[in-house]
Amino acid sequence: MSGWELTIKTSLGRLKLAQAVEDAIEVYQFEPLLLTFAHVRRVSDLPYHHRDPFDRMLVAQAVVEDLTLVTKDREIARYEVRTLW
């Protein structure tokens, strides 16, 4: 989801990256997280603190997979998910 959102923001001119998303993933050794039906189901249980579908899916994935989200978005902190600011 993060790679998809970054690519969309870059194509719209809202974000400039020093390198391609796939190159950054390789350099920083991020592990891809596939989107599953469990993630999709979890989105429907989330309160509407945030209207951005990408961010809501990231929250759902973090909850289902017991992960920490790295974000500066204060709205995400309203969810019951671990964040790193």
Query: CA-to-CA distance for 63 and 83, rounded, in angstroms?
Result: 11
So where are the chain's domains?
1-32, 36-85
4-33 tens-digit pLDDT: 888 888 899 988 888 888 888 888 888 889
29-73 tens-digit pLDDT: 888 899 999 999 999 999 999 889 999 999 999 999 999 998 889
Could you tell me the pTM of the whole model? Answer: 0.82
Query: CA-to-CA distance for 10 and 26, rounded, in angstroms?
Result: 18
